[in-house]
A and B are shown apart, each in its own frame.
Chain A
Amino acid sequence: MFRFDPYSPAVDADPFPFYRTLRDEHPCFWSEEANMWVLSRYDDIVTALNDWETYSSASGNLMDEMPNRAGNTLGTTDPPRHDRLRGIVQFAFTRKAVEGLVDPVRASANRALDAVSGERSFDFVADFSSKVTVDVLFGLFNLPRENERMIRDKAVLMVQSDPRTRQKGPEHLAAFQWMSDYARQLVELRKREPGDDLITALIQAEVNGEKLADREVQMTITTLIMAGIESLSGFLTMFALNLADHADARRRLAADPALIPDAIEESLRFNTSAQRFRRCLRRDVTLHGQTLREGDFVCLAYGAGNRDERRFANADVYDIGRKPKGHLGFGGGVHACLGTAFARLASRVAFEEFLTRVPEFRRVQEQLPWMPSTTFRSPIRLDLAVA
């Protein structure tokens, strides 16, 4: 009998064969291990994303939610409150607002590349993607330059879960707690010393004439740090992996960097790190002959929708010329990723520099160590050998 266990290391390593079976044979599947329904076809996911009244985020959006987070962040609030909160945060993430990051990202990428210059091999995660991501995010949020490595480690740890107990382990919850405390201290700091930055804006913002609760500011900051660091470095790592595995695509990009934006879109479709999020049903739904009950959780498997042949021809082929409009790499609907403009810009600039200085590289490890996570997927180490 087919099973889909998002806690299983086999799913971390390669979810795509499971996704195919889900799409073709069980488009509306009850996963006992996850204790929720799984939607895997592109059309079903888009329909759910557009119907927040039915598919609510207010009970949490991560596959394994963290304590006291639901209801206090953008991703775990429904409209209309969500829309007002998002209106406040969004100004910091419009395309115009992030344009100023081109030079800082370029400089940061070059510092990281200087440090491995002359090495025969290096770990793309520790030596490049983490460094650049943390560096740029600290600039974006104007965070005090201390504890950078620690913050990155905690951000990566807090999104993981324990494959044996099928829940978050003490170390993951402790990382979340650490990040929450860090965010609380940032909020206190900005209350004492307001600045021209996002945290100050959140503190001072009013929604319906009401200031945000400290808890909401704190959890929103926690989430933005988590998403900014973990998701962006996870994506950069998956992009590097794709270019290591597809030498032809890599050479085309190195020869013509103007193709990098298209390759980023294809990587977002093909295997971006944000694989699965969840919703909670606010009413009964009948789908593919199944009855889903109010209160049931539903996994939206973006990674599966992105490989749906009903939507993308030859979906399992990595084709940088595809231009996969409408992919689910950033989710969709009212909760679509807040940081799309930032992520696209940072990825483009980072790889313009990377491919200029490291045009030829290959994978060293045959088996990659995958992060144990029900929501995100990326290797925790990616050794690259430089030609």
Chain B
Amino acid sequence: MAKVTFIEHDGAELVVDIPTGWTVMQGAVQNGVAGIEGECGGSCACATCHCYVDEAFLDGLPAPGETEDEMLGCTASERRANSRLSCQIRVTDALDGLVVRLPEAQS
């Protein structure tokens, strides 16, 4: 279980408990985080769960795979150095306190 803070583009914050093994995307859609769409269901195929990961946690995450890297080229909002697809971030206890910021648009 990890507490994850989602900060919407308009600044609204939502703190969500996400079970270990779930992805950050699933924790978001399950808890009504508006800024995450997750259209493809988590298979890294739509880039609508784009998020900006807080720098403090960035190095602790496994690096994006080839497909994620490609899909990050298709995001609706600007790709930044800390851009990730939240369906590819699997929750572990080490991610407790994770903060992600959401882009202006997903599609």
Q: Which of A86, A96, A311, A333 contacts B67 (CB 8 A)?
A: A86
- Do residues B22 and A325 form an inter-chain contact, with CB atoms below 8 A? no
**A303 interfacial by beta-carbon distance below 8 Å:** no
CB 8 Å contact bits of B27-57 with A (1 = contact, 0 = none): 0011010000111111111100000000000
* Distance (whole angstroms) from the CB of B52 to the closest CB of chain A: 20
Which B residues are in CB contact (< 8 Å) with A127? none
Which residue of chain B lies nearest to A90 when distances are taken between CB atoms in the complex?
B45
Binds B, one of A100-108, A192-200, A223-231, A337-345: A337-345
Chain B residues positioned under 8 Å from A87 (CB to CB): 66-67, 70
Closest to A48 in B: B21
Cβ of B66: which chain A residues have Cβ within 8 Å of it?
A: 83, 87
CB pair A49 B42 closer than 8 Å? yes
Q: Decide if A47 is an interface residue (CB 8 Å cutoff).
A: yes
Report the interface size class on chain B. 20 to 34
Answer whether residue A46 sits at the interface, using C-beta atoms and an 8 A cutoff. yes
Taking the closest CB of chain A, its distance from the CB of B84, in whole angstroms, is 16
Contact with A along B54-84 (1 / 0, CB 8 A): 0000000000011100100010000000000
Establish whether residues A341 and B22, one from each chain, have CB atoms under 8 Å apart when the complex forms: no
A contact residues around B107 at 8 Å (CB): 95
A-chain residues with CB within 8 Å of residue B41 when the two chains form the complex: 330-333, 336-337, 340
B43 contacts A338, C-beta separation under 8 Å: yes
Of residues 310 through 363 on chain A, the ones whose CB sits less than 8 Å from some CB of chain B are 311, 325-326, 330-338, 340-341
Which of A86, A95, A326 sits near B46, CB closer than 8 Å? A95
Contact between chains at A86 and B43 (CB < 8 Å):
yes
User: Is A50 an interface residue when CB atoms closer than 8 A count as contact?
Assistant: yes
Task: Looking at the assembled complex, report how far the CB atom of B40 sits from the nearest CB atom of chain A, in whole angstroms.
Answer: 5
**Nearest Cβ distance between residue A258 and chain B, in whole angstroms?**
15
Quick one: which of B19, B38, B65, B67 contacts A325, CB cutoff 8 A? B38
Residue of B nearest to A74 (CB): B43
Residues on the A chain within 8 Å of B38, using CB: 325-326
Instruction: Specify which of B22, B40, B45, B65 is in contact with A46 (CB 8 Å cutoff).
Output: B22
Q: Pick from A51, A326, A334: contact of B21, CB below 8 A.
A: A51
Query: Would you call B90 and A336 a contact (CB within 8 A)?
Result: no
Complex CA distance for A166 and B42, rounded to whole angstroms: 33
**Could you tell me if A332 and B26 are in contact, using CB atoms closer than 8 angstroms?**
yes
Also in contact, A94 and B37, with CB within 8 A (given A83-B67, A340-B46): no
Given known pairs A47-B21, A325-B29, the reply for A336 and B40 (CB within 8 Å) is yes
Q: How far is the CA of A335 from the CA of B21 in the complex (A)?
A: 16
Q: Given the known inter-chain contacts A83-B67, A87-B66, A87-B67, please indicate yes or no for A341 contacting B26, CB distance below 8 A.
A: no
Question: Is there a chain A Cβ closer than 8 Å to B5's Cβ?
Answer: no
Contact B67 A340 (CB under 8 A): no
A325 to B42, CA, bound (A): 12
Interface residues of B in 6-27 (CB under 8 A from A): 19, 21-23, 26
Interface hits, A89-115 → B, CB 8 Å? 90, 93-96
B30 in complex: contacting residue of A51, A95, A326, A335, CB < 8 Å:
A326
A83 to B22, CA, bound (A): 18
Nearest residue, chain B, Cβ from A341: B46
In the assembled complex, which residues on chain B have CB atoms less than 8 Å from the CB atom of A83? 65-67
Interface pair B37/A325, CB less than 8 Å apart: yes
Collect the chain B residues with CB atoms within 8 Å of residue A311's CB.
30
Return A96 CB to nearest CB of chain B, in Å. Answer: 7
What per-residue 1/0 map shows which CB atoms of B73-107 lie under 8 Å from chain A?
01000000000000000100000000000000001
B92 to chain A, nearest CB (A): 12
Question: With the chains together, A335 CA to B19 CA distance in Å?
Answer: 20
How far is A326 from B24 in the complex, measured between Cα atoms in Å? 12
Chain A positions within 8 Å of B37 at CB level: 325
- For residue A336, which residues in chain B have a CB less than 8 angstroms away from its CB? 40-43, 45
A-B contact list, 30 entries, CB within 8 Å: A46-B30, A50-B21, A50-B22, A50-B23, A51-B21, A86-B67, A90-B45, A94-B45, A94-B46, A95-B107, A96-B74, A325-B32, A326-B29, A326-B30, A326-B38, A332-B41, A333-B43, A334-B43, A335-B43, A336-B40, A336-B41, A336-B42, A337-B41, A338-B43, A338-B45, A340-B41, A341-B39, A341-B40, A341-B45, A341-B46
Known: A50-B90, A83-B67, A341-B40. 10 other contacts (CB 8 A): A49-B42, A50-B22, A50-B26, A51-B21, A83-B65, A326-B29, A331-B41, A340-B46, A341-B39, A341-B46
4 closest Cβ contacts across the A-B interface? A336-B41, A326-B29, A336-B43, A325-B29
Q: Which residues of A contact B (CB under 8 A)?
A: 43, 46-47, 49-51, 83, 86-87, 90, 93-96, 311, 325-326, 330-338, 340-341
